[in-house]
A and B are shown apart, each in its own frame.
Chain A
Amino acid sequence: MTQLRATHDLHKRRLSRNVGVGVTLLALVAVVFGLTMVKVTRGDPMERFDHVARPALEAAAEDSQ
């Protein structure tokens, strides 16, 4: 039967991988969140046509054509 020490080298490598993947995923979440905040707070795509009539926007759209 194979005896393994509590901190076998294999466990260290596995820990390095798990921590690395965890940090990478957290970084991805932070990047997506940051990007969303930048896009949303700049606001330009927010004030567009939705389910509410926007006469001012319609006039502006016609002018630009």
Chain B
Amino acid sequence: MADLSINPSRDYEPTFGDYFQLLKPRVMSLVVFTALVGLVVAPVSLHPFEAFCAILFIALGAGASGALNMWYDADIDSVMRRTAKRPVPSGRVEPGEALAIGVGLSGISVVMLALATNVVAAALLAFTIFFYAVIYTMWLKRWTPQNIVIGGAAGAFPPMIGWAAATGDVTLASVLMFALTFMWTPPHFWALALFMRSDYDDAGVPMLTVTHGRPSTRLHILVYTALLAPVPIALGLTSVGGPVTLILAVGLSAWFLKGAYEIYRRDEVMAEADNYKVEKAFFRFSLYYLFVMFGALLIDALIRAVV
């Protein structure tokens, strides 16, 4: 006897894991970490369960914007090797399902964050989702090679939301935490773009390496790294900073700037000769840079709590 409950129009039924992949779990892990730092270093402390809920719903909001991004970008994701296996372009999840999950989780995360903490944090989360899904994904990504710069703002909001969840406001310290990730994103991604042979061009997404050329990308990396350098130092001088943040900010920024200058001085012949050794080292260092700087804020908060 045939099983009548099977939908014949569909040859694959998605698992729960397929839906979970829509939320971009790896991006969520960075969001959880930076939002946690924003929440912990804030001068107001929440009840531990409220803090847990705040982090959970910030992460859920980030996941929702990831699902909306996958829904809208399915056409270009299917062209690029890196993204072709995502749930929507690979056909495991229907585009309409991704849209429904994105919209549904956006609503749940914003409302629940407002109930768990306050309206300011919820409004910031709503704006972050809107910014990533509409301003970045639908508008800027396919239009300007500065897409990386502006899109970086969406990834930079979580520590600010974590701070707002605890305090209910936006201050210089939380803006500087935002600026740290915001200014870090361009050199990080452009370094990757230099040594990763990407197929963004086939997908019609303007990348700086293609539109302005590689020498210009190298100059952009140097300029943005120079603009980034004062941000963690300023953060170290605010109420959330301390000796650990300040020392690491000076040391790591100097090292990062040195790497950016080395990238700027090289050309493609030199880079290809050693298989992009300097660019790859700079990219790896950038990952540690952000992690260590936010970790330093946590250590200083711990020192303040103990002393």
Contact = CB atoms under 8 A, between A and B. Distances in A.
A23 B33 CA distance: 24
Interface string A1-28: 1101000001001101101110000000
A31 interface: yes
Nearest to B17: A16
A16 B6 contact: no
A42 interface: yes
Q: DSSP majority for the A interface?
A: helix
B116 A13 contact: no
A62 to B, nearest CB: 25
Contacts of A10: 6, 13
B147 to A, nearest CB: 33
Contacts of A16: 15-17
Contacts of B53: 31, 34-35
B19 interface: yes
Contacts of A60: none
Given A1-B2, A10-B6, A35-B115, A17 B13 contact: yes
Contacts of A14: 13
A35 B2 contact: no
Interface bracket on A: 10 to 19
Interface string B1-32: 11100100000111111011000000000000
B15 A35 contact: no
Nearest to A42: B47
B56 interface: yes
Given A2-B2, A35-B115, A35-B116, A13 B15 contact: yes
B19 A20 contact: yes
B288 interface: no
B47 A21 contact: no
Interface residues of B, number: 20
A38 B49 contact: yes
Nearest to B6: A10
B3 A4 contact: yes
B49 A35 contact: yes
Nearest to B8: A2
Contacts of B73: none
Interface in A25-61: 31-32, 34-35, 38, 42
Interface string B51-70: 00100100000000000000
A21 B16 contact: yes
Contacts of B17: 16, 20
Given A10-B6, A19-B16, 14 more contacts: A1-B2, A2-B3, A13-B13, A16-B16, A17-B15, A20-B19, A21-B16, A31-B56, A32-B112, A34-B49, A35-B50, A35-B53, A35-B115, A38-B47
Interface of B: 1-3, 6, 12-17, 19-20, 47, 49-50, 53, 56, 112, 115-116
8 contacts: A4-B3, A10-B6, A17-B13, A20-B19, A20-B20, A34-B49, A35-B115, A35-B116
Interface of A: 1-2, 4, 10, 13-14, 16-17, 19-21, 31-32, 34-35, 38, 42
In the A-B complex, list the 3 residue pairs whose CB atoms are closest, starting with the nearest: A20-B16, A16-B15, A13-B15
